[in-house]
Amino acid sequence: MRELAPVQTLDQEAFTIAFDAMKQGKPQFTHGDDSFRLGRELGKGGTKSVYDAQLSGEQLALALSNTVDGTTRAAQKWQKALREPPVTDVVRELGFLVNTHCKVTPITVDGTSFPAITLTRYADLPLEVRDRKNPSSSVVRGDIFTKTPTLGSFIEATRGLAQDTAKVVGQGVFLEGDSFNLGRDDNGLHLFLNDLSNAQFRDSNEEDATKYAEYASSRAVEALISGLSWEEYGKHRDFFDGDAFHFLHGQAYKQFTDIVLAEAGISS
């Protein structure tokens, strides 16, 4: 069992006041003596909205509670969201690519305290991040495949991604699908792990590990495909829409999964 830093307990009364202010629209967000300047929305999910923000001349991403739920449900979701920074720290220490800064940051919303989450913007990270859930915020610097892949070249190009997936399985890091995103640096393709509030750390027997390896492999390949621009996907449609790449049943998925199982030391 991995040890997490203590998760902050949400002040329900303060959350309610701040949440109501956010729901009414355009409150003032401050940190110490400085006010945040909020820019465009970078991403949105069922729990939080993330904004491009500036504080004291520094650009960052500011995550706030969504206001589509009722107060009670939103508070429950935000309490879980506050688990993301300590989980991210553990996952980073295990050697995975995650956001370089993910911290609970005390701010005020129209004068009421609120535990926001600050992150490094994707654009400021030393790698490309292609977010499967928020493609408009992804960083895309050129095509991944310079020519239409074959089965062999696809497997070779995704070897780093498969090794990261095997490491997720071997380390007992159990993730939900939205946590699997594509990262690309000078060393090739990798997993970029994000939205980690629901991650669990546990040991498993070989049967469970095999099932999780198959699940993680499909999520990793989905992250890759989701990370392709429409233009790049269109260039290589013959491969990605062909029998070799048929979802979950094609040879590309099977060989990728076999590599993950082998790298994780699991008999297939």
Q: What is the pLDDT of residues 13-60, one digit of tens each?
A: 999 999 999 999 889 999 999 999 999 999 888 899 999 999 988 999
- Assess whether 131 and 250 both reside in one domain: yes
- Assess whether 115 and 202 both reside in one domain: no
Is the model's pLDDT at 251 over the cut of 90? Answer: no
Residues in CB range of 137: below 8 A, 6 or more apart: 42, 43, 50, 122, 131
Domain extent at residue 117: 12-122
Tokens of 241: 């829409």
User: Cβ-count burial of 80 within 10 angstroms (0-12 exposed, 13-18 middle, 19+ buried)?
Assistant: middle
Establish if 150 belongs to a structural domain.
Answer: yes
- Assess whether 175 and 133 both reside in one domain: yes
Q: What single-letter amino acid sits at 116?
A: A
Partners of 44 in the β-ladder: 49
Residue 245 is predicted with a pLDDT of 80
- Assess whether 73 and 30 both reside in one domain: yes
Alpha helix segments (H runs only) across the chain: 12-24, 71-81, 84-93, 151-157, 159-170, 206-227, 230-235, 237-240, 251-263
- Assess whether 195 and 241 both reside in one domain: yes
Greatest distance between any 2 Cα atoms in the chain = 60
Establish if 5 belongs to a structural domain.
Answer: no
Average pLDDT, the chain: 93
- Assess whether 133 and 239 both reside in one domain: yes
> CA 131 to CA 154: how far, in whole Å?
20
Residue 246 is predicted with a pLDDT of 72
* Domain total in the chain: 2
Q: What is the pLDDT of residues 166-181, one digit of tens each?
A: 999 999 999 999 999 9
Is the model's pLDDT at 136 over the cut of 90? Answer: no
Tokens of 176: 């939900």
- Assess whether 138 and 97 both reside in one domain: no
CATH number at residue 43: 3.30.200.20
Q: Among residues 64, 92, 122, which one ends one of the domains?
A: 122
Establish if 19 belongs to a structural domain.
Answer: yes
User: Cβ-count burial of 93 within 10 angstroms (0-12 exposed, 13-18 middle, 19+ buried)?
Assistant: exposed
For residue 124, the SS3 value is helix
Establish if 268 belongs to a structural domain.
Answer: no
Residue 135 is predicted with a pLDDT of 83
Establish if 7 belongs to a structural domain.
Answer: no
Residue 248's pLDDT band (cuts 50, 70, 90): low
| 163 to 211, 248, 262: CA distances (angstroms) | 17, 19, 10
Residues in CB range of 59: below 8 A, 6 or more apart: 52, 53, 121, 124
- Assess whether 221 and 188 both reside in one domain: yes
Residue 206 is predicted with a pLDDT of 81
- Assess whether 159 and 82 both reside in one domain: no
Pairing label, strands 112-119, 34-35:
unpaired
Pairing label, strands 188-193, 200-201:
unpaired
Is the model's pLDDT at 249 over the cut of 80? Answer: no
| Range with the largest mean pLDDT of 48-57, 139-148, 157-166 | 157-166
Is the model's pLDDT at 155 over the cut of 90? Answer: yes
Task: Check if the beta carbon of residue 106 is closer than 8 Å to that of residue 113.
Answer: yes
Q: Among residues 83, 100, 122, which one ends one of the domains?
A: 122
Q: Which residue would you say has higher pLDDT here, 134 or 183?
A: 183
Residue 268 is predicted with a pLDDT of 65
Residue 127 is predicted with a pLDDT of 95
- Assess whether 59 and 143 both reside in one domain: no
CA atoms within 13 A on the CB side of 42: 25
Question: Mean pLDDT throughout 129-145?
Answer: 90
- Assess whether 161 and 75 both reside in one domain: no
Is the model's pLDDT at 1 over the cut of 60? Answer: no
Establish if 39 belongs to a structural domain.
Answer: yes
Place of tokens 């049943």: 249
Place of tokens 């956001």: 99
Q: What is the pTM of this model?
A: 0.93
Establish if 64 belongs to a structural domain.
Answer: yes
Q: Among residues 91, 122, 153, which one ends one of the domains?
A: 122
- Assess whether 169 and 217 both reside in one domain: yes
User: Cβ-count burial of 146 within 10 angstroms (0-12 exposed, 13-18 middle, 19+ buried)?
Assistant: exposed
Tokens of 4: 């997490």
User: Cβ-count burial of 195 within 10 angstroms (0-12 exposed, 13-18 middle, 19+ buried)?
Assistant: buried
Establish if 187 belongs to a structural domain.
Answer: yes
